[in-house]
Amino acid sequence: MTDLLTKALSNLTDAALALEMPDQTDALILLTGEDARILEVVSSASYFRKKYFSNLVKLNYLVNIKSGFCQEDCSYCSQAKHSEADILRYPFIDTELLMKEVERGITSGAARICLVASGRGPTERDITKISAMVKEVKAAYPAVEICTSLGILAEEHARQLKSAGVFAYNHNLNTSSEHYSKICSTHTYQDRQETVQKAKTSGLSPCSGALFGMGESDNDIVSLAEGLYAADPESVPVNFLLPFDGTPLSGFTALTPGRCLRILSLMRFYFPNKEIRAGAGRETHLRSMQVLSLHVVNSLFVGDYLTSTGQPGEADIEMIRDAGFIPITPGGTENGTAGRPGIKSVKVESRKRGPGSKQIPNK
């Protein structure tokens, strides 16, 4: 007799093949699966990752162009108005520093540069400043994709960004409409939906995803996935909560590597042919299972996050290459400068602790 998970994966696969929205019951069964069967889930989702993206991985590099001082109260955010998190806070960086950052990102293999500014949304002055920054970056690196993430956006501002050379606009729905008021009181889920639509109608590639691990239920996850499906983004970042000290969610943990992999796999069934990006919290929550996520997602951030550190870019490239995946350039071809696969030289360290020594052994 076919068990529930096998049947659900088969149904989810059929829906994704037809590019149809998954059935809620199947989605909920996937989310409640046991860790011991995670390979079955990842393997089913990986079919679509391979079908649409082969073994290519897009790297994205975040530049936090303005940090902290936000007047919104998103409870997960270290930059929110009540946050006492120990983070770097600064006004807009200047163009010289921006160009150094962009160069660092491109040297690390990034095909997309994401310029992010804290705040509810940009003013006219901010848009003028950011448009000038974007023009500088495009003049130096015409092929690189630029994404901006600046908060709630007016349609006129979206058009200005587009004409300055911005390719994509990021605005995450973050959590379900039902759960939204529990994580933020200064703006609504609907505000976020509207911004994604404005970006889209202005010709910007809509990038919208989620943040998991904030106390949402499985039903919230399915509801959020359906909300994103309706918004129809071209890229979907999937973030996992980093519970900064000094924020309302300080120390809150509800994620395991298995749960993160099930969430990523579920998102692949909702978005079989879209760019899915493992975002913040990847290293912290996937831990030793990080590499499995590459069989589901086709995009990663390389380098640091907005207010937290990421693993060294070289470790990301090594993980990608070791697993048989290939970083891509903005044009979608292999990025030959971003690491090389194969055997690397090995340095062996002889044991100087444990038996035969006075040092305590490794444990």
Instruction: Give the binding site for ligand SF4 (CB under 6 A).
Output: 70, 72, 74, 77, 79-80, 118-120, 151
Q: In the complex with ligand SF4, which residue's Cβ is closer, 82 or 100?
A: 82
CB of 1 vs ligand SF4, minimal distance in Å: 47
CB of 79 vs ligand SF4, minimal distance in Å: 4
Q: In the complex with ligand SF4, which residue's Cβ is closer, 77 or 267?
A: 77
CB of 73 vs ligand SF4, minimal distance in Å: 7
CB of 105 vs ligand SF4, minimal distance in Å: 21
Residue 29 structure tokens = 């069964």
CB of 52 vs ligand SF4, minimal distance in Å: 30
Burial group, residue 102, by CB count within 10 angstroms (0-12, 13-18, 19+): buried
What is the rounded distance in angstroms from the CA atom of residue 260 to the CA atom of residue 212? 8
Task: Enumerate the H helices of 141-289 as residue ranges.
Answer: 155-164, 180-183, 189-201, 218-231, 257-270
Residue 345 structure tokens = 């030289």
Range 74-77, long-range pairs (CB < 8 A, 24+ positions): 74/174, 74/183, 74/184, 74/186, 75/182, 75/183, 75/184, 75/214, 75/247, 75/248, 75/249, 76/174, 76/183, 76/211, 76/214, 76/241, 76/243, 76/247, 76/249, 77/247
3-state secondary structure of 334: strand
Task: Give 334's contacts (C-beta < 8 A, 6+ positions apart).
Answer: 56, 326, 327, 328
Q: In the complex with ligand SF4, which residue's Cβ is closer, 87 or 289?
A: 87
Q: In the complex with ligand SF4, which residue's Cβ is closer, 203 or 215?
A: 215
